[in-house]
Amino acid sequence: MSPPTPNVEPVLVGRDNLVWMIPTIPGCYVAIDPGEAGPVVDFLTAQNATLSHILITHHHGDHIGGVEPLRARYGCAVIGAEADAHRLPSLDLTVREGDRVALNRQLMADVLEVPGHTLGHLAYRIGDGIFCGDTLFGFGCGRLFEGTPAQMWSSLSKLRALPDDTRLFAGHEYTLVNLDFTRSLDPDNRELARLRHHFMTILDDGGFTLPHPLQLEKAFNPFLNADNPVFLAHLGLTGLDPVTAFATLRERRNHF
């Protein structure tokens, strides 16, 4: 079991982007995918804190828009994919699969390459959390803007192999709409109905559906079950290989 990631706080940017703020030393935070600077500055000001690092998962503007103004204000180190360095803000450190970044003396960020949504997409495993940007969402996954179904299936399989108690920190609050898609595949599933009510209550109270355990995703996320013969038979997809089944599910989600 991995040590818990300490006191991670979400900062909402726009309608549904989530910037994850991780404390390192007293008065200091790491920001993951700051799409805008303002909400992050407001959070840090309220905490009387500063920013030590920015970790970037991928190059899309809603994940990097705040990087340069935050660097200018706090002098923080910016870290991102070696493969995507040409289309990211200037990086102080480039990383790739298997690299480990020290955020303080005890807290490490292990780097995973998870292409599919984009070709240079990264995820960071920090403590008991996986910070995976737009690769894996609550009950969903990212669109394939650059990668192939085979790449995305491989990336999702890599994330699925993490321990059940790993906590999912995705880049967007998309759980409810993804859960509605999941229920459309299995409308009589009472547990999915219960989960929707549970998450709806959290959102109505002003909270967030994330993080939650990866075990929940392994059980119910359709994109993590593209090699599950029982699940595929239920959908009339018997005989499809996992990549083809994944691509079929992704196309259905695109038009949901």
Tens-digit pLDDT profile for residues 116-150: 999 999 999 999 999 999 999 999 999 999 999 99
Quote the pLDDT of residue 106. 87
Residue 202 above 80 pLDDT? yes
pLDDT, tens only, 153-169 = 999 999 999 999 999 99
The verdict on residue 48 lying in a domain is: yes
> For the residues 15-35, what does the mean pLDDT come to?
96
pLDDT band at 2 (very low <50, low <70, confident <90, very high): low
H helix count then E strand count, the chain: 9, 14
The verdict on residue 3 lying in a domain is: no
Whether residue 159 contacts residue 136, with contact meaning beta carbons closer than 8 Å, is answered with yes
CATH code assigned at 228 = 3.60.15.10
CA distance 219 to 167: 14
Residue 4 above 90 pLDDT? no
Looking at the DSSP assignment, which residues form a beta bridge with residue 133? Answer: none
The whole-chain average pLDDT of the chain stands at 96
Which residue is associated with the tokens 């509605």? 180
Please give the tally of structural domains in the chain: 1
Residue 83 above 70 pLDDT? yes
Residue 6 above 90 pLDDT? no
The verdict on residue 4 lying in a domain is: no
The SS3 of residue 78 is: strand
**Tokens standing for residue 192:** 């999915």
Residue 199 above 80 pLDDT? yes
Going from the C-alpha of 242 to that of each of 147, 151, 164, 252, the distances in angstroms are 16, 12, 21, 15
User: What is the bridge-based pairing of β-strands 9-13 and 17-23?
Assistant: antiparallel
The verdict on residue 51 lying in a domain is: yes
CA distance 74 to 95: 22
> For the residues 210-217, what does the mean pLDDT come to?
97
The SS3 of residue 243 is: helix
The verdict on residue 29 lying in a domain is: yes
Closest listed residue to residue 158, CA positions, set 179, 132, 182:
132
190-204 helix and 175-185 helix, angle to the nearest 10 degrees: 160
Going from the C-alpha of 115 to that of each of 121, 122, 151, 170, the distances in angstroms are 5, 7, 6, 15
CA distance 210 to 158: 20
pLDDT band at 36 (very low <50, low <70, confident <90, very high): very high
Which residue is associated with the tokens 């229920």? 183
Residue 1 above 70 pLDDT? no
pLDDT band at 5 (very low <50, low <70, confident <90, very high): confident
The verdict on residue 1 lying in a domain is: no
Could you tell me the residue range of the domain that residue 23 belongs to?
A: 9-254
Lowest mean pLDDT among 4-8, 86-90, 108-112, 224-228: 4-8
Residue 90 above 60 pLDDT? yes
In whole angstroms, how large is the CA radius of gyration of the chain?
A: 18
Quote the pLDDT of residue 96. 97
The verdict on residue 38 lying in a domain is: yes
**Count of Cβ atoms closer than 10 Å to residue 61 Cβ:** 8
The verdict on residue 132 lying in a domain is: yes
pLDDT band at 237 (very low <50, low <70, confident <90, very high): very high
